[in-house]
Amino acid sequence: MKTFATAAAPHLPPRSSVRQVMAEVLLALLPAIAVQAWLFGPGLLVQIALGLLLAAAIESTALHLRGQQPQAGLADLSAALTAVLFALCIPPICPWWISAIGLLFGLGLVKHAYGGLGLNLFNPAMAAYALVLLLYPRQLSLWTAPLADLDLGQSLQAIFLGQLPASWDTLASATPLSSLRQLAGEAWRMPQIRELPLFGHYGAAGWEWIALAYAAGGCYLVWRRIVAWQVPAGVIGATLLLGGLAWLIDAERHPAPLQHLAGGGLMLAAWFVAADPVTGCTSPRGRLLFGIGVAVLSLAIRRWGSHPDGVAFAVLLMNAAAPLIDRFTRPRVHGHAR
């Protein structure tokens, strides 16, 4: 008689792991990281490194406090993903304590206080970004024009010592979305605004390339079946439809739909943030609705809200609505009447 260890079915090697999923998402962010670092300086890489260190420290402390194995928790790479997403949202020369406050809130409170990975209601990166955006609007507007040639030394000085470069006044530049908002407020016509170099080829100089890089990485994730196609389809489809409709009605007063996608955070949200499975919907129809909701709310905040870009708020609002949407979009179970 030969004895064996027993185990529950399935008796097949696992097809993937949470760590693998997170690693692929990080991989898919590489093109956008490269483009953004090239356009807005090496500060981004410093922010990512800083964010990773802070995230590791906060995550392991939180796990320790919750009586769990820090190594196992860190190995799933979810905290690393939060850190990278947050770094991509903030200006590259933002002071270091912005990251500290944001990640402490995002990981410590929004994620771990609610039970950690899988149980958090809100996307930690977006919650962190929304908090610092509300608390420190000035630091969060330290953007330069694309290709402003900030070097590593200047970036480090700005991040850790809070010293902006001497020529900051010439380097600084509003983001396309805030300029758009300001100029529209000053009664500029849209076609006039579009003429300005800040608005690039089809919406926002520099930013439009970053948006394309996000789309490239996102397409990879959809192809790998890590991101459900319904979410980006919902976000992009609704943006084009709604933005397009407004633009067709009055092109003098409304930006072109591509401008909506190119400037700001909609592409990041569409492929990487709204597509976060933990805080999004799980049913196919629910995911489509979730994406549409993010787009509609973003556009509404851009149009009527007090912030130039509202993607983070839109995502958080939809996070809150996700359980309700899931409840009403469950597919019909086999053998049951609708």
Cα distances (Å, whole numbers) of residue 70 to 24, 54, 99, 233: 22, 14, 21, 36
Whether omega for the bond prior to residue 10 falls within 30 degrees of 0, making it cis, is yes
Contact between 336 and another protein by CB under 8 A: the answer reads: yes
Separation in Å, CA 258 to CA 48, 199, 239, 289, 320? 28, 11, 9, 21, 28
Please select the residue that binds another protein; options are 216, 297, 330, 338, rule is CB under 8 A: 330
- Single out the residue of 65, 119, 134, 147 in contact with another protein (rule: CB under 8 A): 119
The reply to whether 319 sits near another protein by the rule CB under 8 A is no
Where do the DSSP E strands lie in 188-329? none
- Restricting to residues 142-161, name those near another protein by CB under 8 A: none
Q: For another protein, which residue of 79, 117, 148, 289 counts as binding (CB under 8 A)?
A: 117
Site string for another protein, 211-250 (x = CB under 8 A): --------------xx-x----------------------
Q: Which two tokens stand for residue 205?
A: 């100089």
In the complex with another protein, the residue whose CB is nearer, 128 or 228, is 228
| Residues 103/51, Cβ–Cβ less than 8 Å | yes
| Amino acid symbol at 35 | V
Measured distance CA(37)–CA(33) in Å, rounded: 6
Task: Determine if 282 is a binding residue for another protein (CB under 8 A).
Answer: yes
Q: Residue 118 region, left (φ>0) first, then alpha (ψ -120 to 50), else beta? A: left
Q: Which of 61, 277, 285, 321 binds another protein (CB under 8 A)?
A: 277
Residue 5 binds another protein, judged by CB under 8 A: yes
| Per-residue mark of binding to another protein, 76-95 (x: CB under 8 A) | x-x-----------------
Span of 82-90, 200-208, 307-315, 323-331 interacting with another protein by CB under 8 A = 323-331
Q: Compare residues 166 and 333 and give the one whose CB is closer to another protein.
A: 333
Per CB under 8 A, 170 contacts another protein: no
Residue in 65, 118, 161, 163 binding another protein, rule: CB under 8 A: 118
Q: Quickly list DSSP for 21-86.
A: HHHHHHHHHHHHHHHHHHHH-THHHHHHHHHHHHHHHHHHHHHHHTTS-HHHHHHT-HHHHHHHHH
Nearer CB in complex with another protein: 11/138: 11
- Measured CA to CA, the distance from residue 214 to residue 120 in angstroms comes to 25
Residues of span 7-46 touching another protein by CB under 8 A: 7-18, 20-21
Question: Toward another protein, which CB reaches closer, 7 or 166?
Answer: 7
Q: Which of 102, 116, 232, 257 contacts another protein by CB under 8 A?
A: 116
Q: How far apart are CA 292 and CA 234, in angstroms?
A: 5
CA–CA separation, 80 and 139 (whole Å): 23
Residues that bind another protein (CB under 8 A): 1-18, 20-21, 72, 76, 78, 116-119, 225-226, 228, 277-278, 280, 282-283, 287, 326, 330-336
